[in-house]
Amino acid sequence: TTAIERHLYDVVVIGAGGAGLRAAIEARLAGKRTAIISKSLFGKAHTVMAEGGAAAAMGNANSRDNWMVHFRDTMRGGKFLNNFRMAELHAKEAPERIWELETYGALFDRTKDGKISQRNFGGHEYPRLAHVGDRTGLELIRTLQQKIVSLQQEDYAETGSYDARIRVFQETTVTELLLDGDRVAGAFGYFRESGEFVLFEAPAVVLATGGVGRSYKVTSNSWEYTGDGHALALRAGATLINMEFLQFHPTGMVWPPSVKGILVTESVRGDGGVLRNSEQKRFMFDYVPDVFRKQYAETEEEADRWYADPENNRRPPELLPRDEVARAINSEVKAGRGSPAGGVFLDISTRLPAEQIIRRLPSMHHQFKELADVDITKEPMEVGPTCHYVMGGVEVDPDSAAALGTVQGLFAAGEVSGGMHGSNRLGGNSLSDLLVFGKRAGEHASAYVDTLGKRPKPSKVDVASAVEVALAPLVRSGGENPYTLQQDLQAVMGDLVGIIRREGELTDALKRLHELRLRVANVSSEGGRRYNPGWHLAIDLRNMLVVSECTAKAALEREESRGGHTREDFPKMSPQWRLINLICSVDESGDVHLERKPVPRMRAELIELFERTELSKYLTDEELAELEAE
Ligand code: FAD
C-alpha cells in the first residue's frame, strides 16, 4: 500500500490567491481549524500579478460614485447576463473590503487630501480603482499574508503552535475531492516536491483555484491555471455556469515569441495610452458599438480632453470594455493593418512625459525593457489579444458562495466561481470580487460546519481510487507524452474556440476534444514521483480537457454574440439568449452535459437604476412590456 499523510481540518481552502486567503482568514476568525493549500509557492498566484487595481465605489475621486453606479457599470460590462445579486453584493461590499485591507496593513496610493486614490479603467463611469502604482495585487497578497501571519502569532501565544488553527501547505496539488454520500469529506493530493500523497479530511472545502488559461496557446496565465477547481467541482457533482465566456485581454505582448501573451496592463490606456494601426490611425473610433455610442468620444480632441476634464467630455474609445477592444484589434490585424509582429501599436511615449510613465507604470517600463528591449517612454509597444480570464465557473448561491448541484459543503470564490461578471468582466472587478466573495465563502463554510452533527468521512475505496488515478501516468508505459497532448489541446482551443467562433469549427473542436480525451486516458510520463513536472501535467490534463469540453459545448450552443463569446455566424446579441444560462455537469463516466436554465430576474428596485432606452437594448419585447405594465 502507498503511504498517505493525513490531516484533519474544519475548512480546507484550495488556492492561495486573494479569494483563498480572504476565505481562510474568515474561517480562522470564525474559530475553524483551517488549511490553505496552494499548488505554487505561497505568495505566487495570479492575484500577485494584478496590476491595475481593485474596483470599489468609494467616491474618493468623484463624489458622484456609489454602489448603484458601480452595479450599473458591472451589469453593462457583463451585457446584463451577470447574476444580479452577486453584482449587487459586490458593488455594495467592495468599499468595506478595501478599507478593511488597510486595517490589515495595506497602503494604497493617496489623493492630495489623503484619501485612497482611484484610477480610471475601461467600463467604469468614474475613477474607481484603488491601486498601488501598477503593483496592486502584490500589495493585496502581501497584506493578506501578513494578516495570516499575525493570526498565527496569536495562536502561538495561546497554544504554543503557529499552525494550531491555520496552516499553509504550499507546492501541494489537490487532485480529487472526496465525498461521503453527497457531502464533502475531504481533499486528496500530492506534494509536488516529494510526490508523496496527502489526505485532508474536512467537512467543508472552499475552491479558490483561479482560472483555466493554460488550455490556450496565447495566454497571460501561468502554469498553474489548468482549471483544476472547475474540474474538481464537476466531478464532485457541482455545476459550471456559462463556460463559453472567456475574456481575451486586448493587450498582451506579441513579441518576442517566448513571452507572447504576457499581459500589458489596461492602466496604460487608463493613463492615456492609445492604440494605432500600421497606418498610424487611432482605429478604436471606428469600433464603438451602438450600445456604448452615447458614453464614448467621437473625436480625438474630445477623447484627449477627457483625461483632464471628464465632467464635460466623453471617454476615449480605447477604454471600451475589453471584449470590444480585443475584437477591434483582431479585425485590424486581419485586415492587414497590423504591426510587424502581428499585433497593433500601443503608445504612451507620445502621450506622457517619460518621468510620469516611469512613476505610474514602473512594472510595464521594466517588463518591456527586460523582455523586449523596448523603452516605452520612447517608442510604442506591440500588443495583441491574449486569453486572460474565465467569466464562467462554479455555479454558486450568490449570498453564501455554496456550490449548486448535488454536493454539500463545497464553496467557491474568485475566478473559479461563475455568474458575477456575466459575459464579460470589467477590469478591476476581479480583485474586489476576490475580497467580497472570499470573505463570504469563508464565513458560510464555517457556518455550514457548525450545522453538521457527525463529520462526513472519506471512504477507503475513494482514497484508493484517487491514488490509482494519480499514479496511472507513471505506471503506464508507452503512452503519449503530456506536453504533446497539452500543445494539441492548446491548438484546438486557440484555433477553434478562440475570440471569433463558428459552428463548423466548434463542431470540429468537440470531435477533436473527444479524441484528445481518449489520448489523455492513455498518457504516460517518464521518471518517478520526486519533483516530476511531466507527471504533474499528465494529471492536470484530465482537468483541462473536461473544462475545455464544457467551454466548446456551451460555445456551440449559444447562438449569439455577447461579451466574451463571439459567433461569426450569429453576430448579434439576442434578447432571447439573455434569458438563458448554460449549465454544465458531468456524469459518472465523465461525459459532459449541458442544460439551459433561466437567468434569475432582477429585482424591481435594481431595474429602476437603468433607463428604459438602455434596457431596450438588452431585454425582450415581452420583458419590456411587463415593465411598462408594472
Ligand atoms: P489566483 O490568484 O489565481 O490563485 C489561485 C490559487 O489556486 C493559486 O495559489 C494556485 O496555486 C492555486 N491552485 C490552483 N489549482 C490548484 C490545485 N489543484 N491544488 C492546490 N492549489 C491550486 N484583476 C483585477 O481586478 N485587476 C487587475 O489589475 C488584474 N490584473 C491581472 C494581471 C494578470 C497578469 C493576470 C493573469 C490577471 C489579472 N487580473 C486582474 C485578474 C485577477 O488577478 C485574477 O482573476 C485573480 O487574481 C484571481 O484570484 P483568485 O484568488 O481567484 O485565484
How far is the centre of ligand 1, averaged over its atoms, from the C-alpha of 211 (Å)? 7
DSSP 497-537: SSSEE-HHHHHHHHHHHHHHHHHHTTB---S-SSS-HHHHH
Report the alpha-carbon distance of residue 69 to residue 188 in Å, rounded.
43
Please write the tens of the pLDDT for every residue from 426-484.
999 999 999 999 999 999 999 999 999 999 999 999 999 999 999 999 999 889 999 99
* Residue minimizing CA distance to atom 30 of ligand 1: 50
Instruction: Give every CB contact of residue 587 below 8 A, 6+ residues apart in sequence.
Output: 593
Which atom of ligand 1 is nearest to 430's Cα? Answer: 25
Instruction: Give every CB contact of residue 628 below 8 A, 6+ residues apart in sequence.
Output: none
How far is the centre of ligand 1, averaged over its atoms, from the C-alpha of 342 (Å)? 28
Please write the tens of the pLDDT for every residue from 228-240.
999 999 999 999 9
Q: Is residue 122 over pLDDT 90?
A: no
Instruction: Give every CB contact of residue 73 below 8 A, 6+ residues apart in sequence.
Output: 123, 124, 125, 426
Please write the tens of the pLDDT for every residue from 291-338.
889 999 999 999 999 999 988 999 999 999 888 899 999 999 989 999
* Residue 2 pLDDT: 82
Mean pLDDT of all residues in 95-107: 96
Residue spans of beta strands (DSSP E) within 320-404: 344-347, 381-390, 393-394
Q: Which residues are catalytic?
A: 322
* Residue 599 pLDDT: 97
Q: Is residue 247 over pLDDT 70?
A: yes
Q: Is 445 annotated for ligand binding? A: no
* Residue 1 pLDDT: 63
Q: Is 50 annotated for ligand binding? A: yes
* Residue 392 pLDDT: 98
User: Mutation test of ligand 1: which of 47, 191, 221, 429 has the most ligand atoms closer than 8 Å to its C-beta?
Assistant: 47
CB-CB contact of 95 with 56 (8 Å): yes
Sorting pLDDT into bands at 50, 70 and 90, what band is 12?
very high
* Residue minimizing CA distance to atom 6 of ligand 1: 15
User: Mutation test of ligand 1: which of 44, 46, 260 has the most ligand atoms closer than 8 Å to its C-beta?
Assistant: 46
Instruction: Give every CB contact of residue 341 below 8 A, 6+ residues apart in sequence.
Output: 254, 255, 382
Predicted ipTM of the assembly: 0.99
Q: Residue written as cell 507604470?
A: 361
Q: Which three cell numbers stand for residue 357?
A: 510613465
Report the alpha-carbon distance of residue 415 to residue 230 in Å, rounded.
10
* Residue 110 pLDDT: 94
Q: Is 425 annotated for ligand binding? A: yes
How far is the centre of ligand 1, averaged over its atoms, from the C-alpha of 417 (Å)? 12
How far is the centre of ligand 1, averaged over its atoms, from the C-alpha of 391 (Å)? 13
Q: Which three cell numbers stand for residue 271?
A: 493613463
Which atom of ligand 1 is nearest to 213's Cα? Answer: 36
Mean pLDDT, the chain, whole residue set: 96
How far is the centre of ligand 1, averaged over its atoms, from the C-alpha of 311 (Å)? 34
Sorting pLDDT into bands at 50, 70 and 90, what band is 393?
very high
CA torsion through residues 199, 202, 208, 210, sign: positive
Mean pLDDT of all residues in 253-260: 92
Mean pLDDT of all residues in 179-202: 98
Q: Is 438 annotated for ligand binding? A: no
* Residue 145 pLDDT: 97
Report the alpha-carbon distance of residue 462 to residue 224 in Å, rounded.
25
How far is the centre of ligand 1, averaged over its atoms, from the C-alpha of 49 (Å)? 8
Please write the tens of the pLDDT for every residue from 58-73.
999 999 999 999 999 9
* Residue 377 pLDDT: 97
Which atom of ligand 1 is nearest to 173's Cα? Answer: 19
Q: Is residue 375 over pLDDT 70?
A: yes
Please write the tens of the pLDDT for every residue from 127-145.
999 999 878 999 999 999 9
User: Mutation test of ligand 1: which of 387, 388, 430, 544 has the most ligand atoms closer than 8 Å to its C-beta?
Assistant: 430
* Residue 6 pLDDT: 98
* Residue 33 pLDDT: 98
Mean pLDDT of all residues in 351-379: 95
CB-CB contact of 238 with 182 (8 Å): no
Instruction: Give every CB contact of residue 22 below 8 A, 6+ residues apart in sequence.
Output: 97, 144, 413, 434, 435, 438, 439, 442
Q: Is residue 106 over pLDDT 90?
A: yes
Sorting pLDDT into bands at 50, 70 and 90, what band is 51?
confident
Q: Is residue 249 over pLDDT 70?
A: yes
Mean pLDDT of all residues in 1-29: 96
Which atom of ligand 1 is nearest to 55's Cα? Answer: 25
Report the alpha-carbon distance of residue 399 to residue 287 in Å, rounded.
37
* Residue 134 pLDDT: 77
Q: Is 20 annotated for ligand binding? A: yes
Please write the tens of the pLDDT for every residue from 556-600.
999 999 999 999 999 999 999 999 999 999 999 999 999 999 999
CB-CB contact of 174 with 187 (8 Å): yes
% of the chain beyond a pLDDT of 90: 93
Helix (H) or strand (E) holding 100: helix 84-103
Residues with CB under 6 A from ligand 1: 14-20, 37-40, 45-47, 49-53, 136-137, 173-174, 208-210, 220-221, 224, 228, 263, 389, 414-416, 427-431, 434
Which atom of ligand 1 is nearest to 433's Cα? Answer: 25
Residue of higher predicted confidence among 265 and 89? 89
Q: Is 465 annotated for ligand binding? A: no
